[in-house]
Structure 1
Amino acid sequence: MILILSGSPRKNSINSGLAKYIQNAYEQYNVESLIFDLSSTQLPLFTDEESDYDNENVQKLLKYVEKATSIVICTPEYHNAVSGALKNCLDFLNRDHFFNKKILMFVAGCHGKGGINALNNLRLIMRGVAADVSPQQHVIDGEYFDEEQNLVHEEHQLIVKELIYSLVQFTETKV
């Protein structure tokens, strides 16, 4: 199973739209995937207290990550970094959660600003938990989504499908 993590806390986020696009593409490959969407699933502020892990949504996150063979992360870029909601989410996880899992990263919604800083920031965070991050990554500007947060640009659709297929191949080699 591939976990798709949408890291935007914003309602009607294009990262949520991208996550749904990715999930639909995985269905075409007959690969099970789940979305953990931070715009609809709020997590408590991570304090590193044992009681943090009693939260129902934290338990759901841990269950999904444990079940996943690979993880796709979609994030906006806020002030040259990932969203605070995504960083908080990742703080609930550690090296054990990422062991032997490939990570693929996307940034959506940069509005002409690039998005590379969020990818670099996310790569740094993932290195801190010893994650195996794919060297491939992709940035999609917000203009390539319609008003319902659907990815509508054919070239970006093709690139996303090519990148996520690499996780299908990785997952199949692990079975």
Structure 2
Amino acid sequence: MKMTLIAGSNDAGSVSTRLLRYLESQLAGSGITVSFVDMRELQLPLYSPEAGQNPEAVRLQNEIIHADALILATPEYHGSISGALKNALDYLTPGHVEGKPVLSVSSAGGPLGISSLTHLQTIVRNLHGVNCPEWISVGYGSNEFGPDGAPLDAGVRERVSTVIEQFIKMTRLLSAETAVVTG
């Protein structure tokens, strides 16, 4: 099983990226193959339908096409997702995401990033992805990480563990269903 993780922040010390890196370590520890796409490193021009193919956009599209599932992480800015992540998602079509399970992750300056999570799920739905019924959000007071990259808050670590377990199960179920339909 392969999962593509997309970190949607331009900030080097981003909490959402650090949280996604922690999820990456948990998935790798479960034997999942992980591809990590960081918006700080992927230089995408502002999306325009007339712009034609961009090599970085093609790289992003290929990462998603070859994944069994996606995890999208974003900081919450003004009640929504980051511009960097939105721009990247604009390069996708339903053909890239259709039928893939997607987990949404956010970080916020307040208690939780609920608005960004609901916006992500709306975008995923419009790309014909399958939203995980669970999500992960950290906010002020639960957004510190230890030197090993693990969240210091025990509740966050427990939440990640529970959600990752459910997301892996969901991905396996959808992959089995897809295999039956296409087989």
1:169 alignment counterpart: 169
Report SS of the residue matched to 1:49: helix
Shift in CA distance, 147/27, structure 1 to aligned 2, threshold 3 Å: closer
Q: Is the 8 A contact 1:14 1:142 kept in 2?
A: no
RMSD: 1.9
Q: Could you list the per-position Cα deviations for residues 124-160 of structure 1 after superposition, in whole angstroms to 9, with x for gaps in the alignment?
A: 2222212211121121115422387932222201211
Answering whether residue 8 of structure 2 is matched by residue 7 of structure 1, we say yes
1:91 alignment counterpart: 90
Shift of 1:167: 2.5
Flag structure 2 segments of 5+ consecutive residues without an equivalent: 177-183
Flag structure 1 segments of 5+ consecutive residues without an equivalent: none
1:32 corresponds to which letter in structure 2? Answer: T
Match of 1:111 among 104, 109, 112: 109
2:157 alignment counterpart: 157
State how far apart, in whole Å, the 2-side matches of 1:169 and 1:100 are: 15
Shift in CA distance, 146/169, structure 1 to aligned 2, threshold 3 Å: closer
- The number of residues matched between the two structures is 172
1:24 alignment counterpart: 25
| Higher RCO (CA < 8 A, seq sep 6+) | 1
Fraction of identical pairs, as percent: 24
Q: Could you list the per-position Cα deviations for residues 19-73 of structure 1 after superposition, in whole angstroms to 9, with x for gaps in the alignment?
A: 111110011110101111112222111001252x2x3321210111011111011
Q: Is the 8 A contact 2:132 2:167 kept in 1?
A: no
Q: Could you list the per-position Cα deviations for residues 72-125 of structure 1 after superposition, in whole angstroms to 9, with x for gaps in the alignment?
A: 1111111111011111010011111111210111111x1225311111111222
Shift in CA distance, 65/138, structure 1 to aligned 2, threshold 3 Å: same
Question: What TM-score does the superposition give when structure 1 sets the normalisation length?
Answer: 0.89
Moved more, 66-75 or 110-119: 110-119
Question: What TM-score does the superposition give when structure 2 sets the normalisation length?
Answer: 0.86
2:38 alignment counterpart: 37
State how far apart, in whole Å, the 1-side matches of 2:145 and 2:169 are: 30
